[in-house]
Amino acid sequence: MSTKNSPYFDLGAAYKEVADANGVKARLLPGLMLAGKGLFNVGRFALKEVLPDATRKMANYHADFARERLKDDSLSDDEREKLVAVRGRAEAHLKKLDVLEARSRERAVQSELRRARYERLRKARREAWEKEQAEREAWKKQQAEHGH
């Protein structure tokens, strides 16, 4: 991945690996990795950014269309019934999208909290290890000074 906060691969670095390789065989694997990372980035963007927005827009379109058409007094009972069903499905889909987005935000918050907790624990362990190493070195120095 390109940075700690980015969900996408750094294609610039992957391209540099291809450009820095000497010979056809040496460029084959980095070239395939560049292509795979590019496909991954496109797929991730489509699934995480484009698709949710497109489904929300379509659901809004169908709900709005049904609401407007239902204002027409000349609709038959069958047409009115179908439009009510379309509006209901679209509104249910929008509610489902809201729930999914809320869950996704909650998961992101929980993930960030876990990462922060892990970093604090890692820092505390590193500090404890460094303190222990310093105490060992001081003890060794003291032993060497006293001729032990």
Q: Is 33's pLDDT higher than 80?
A: yes
Q: Give me the sign of the Cα torsion angle 57, 59, 62, 63.
A: negative
- The answer to whether the CB of 42 falls within 8 A of the CB of 25 is no
Q: Is 23's pLDDT higher than 70?
A: yes
Q: Is 148's pLDDT higher than 90?
A: no
Residue 57 CB: number of other CB atoms within 10 A? 10
The string over 3-37, giving b where at least 16 C-beta atoms fall within 10 Å of a residue's C-beta and e elsewhere, is: eeeeeebeeeebeeebeeeeeeeebeebbeebeeb
Confidence of residue 1 (pLDDT cuts 50, 70, 90): low
**Tens digit of each residue's pLDDT (9 = 90 or more) over 39-71:** 999 999 998 889 989 999 999 999 999 999 999
The structure's pTM equals: 0.56
**Tens digit of each residue's pLDDT (9 = 90 or more) over 78-130:** 999 999 999 999 999 999 999 999 998 999 999 999 999 999 999 999 999 99
* SS3 of residue 104 by DSSP: helix
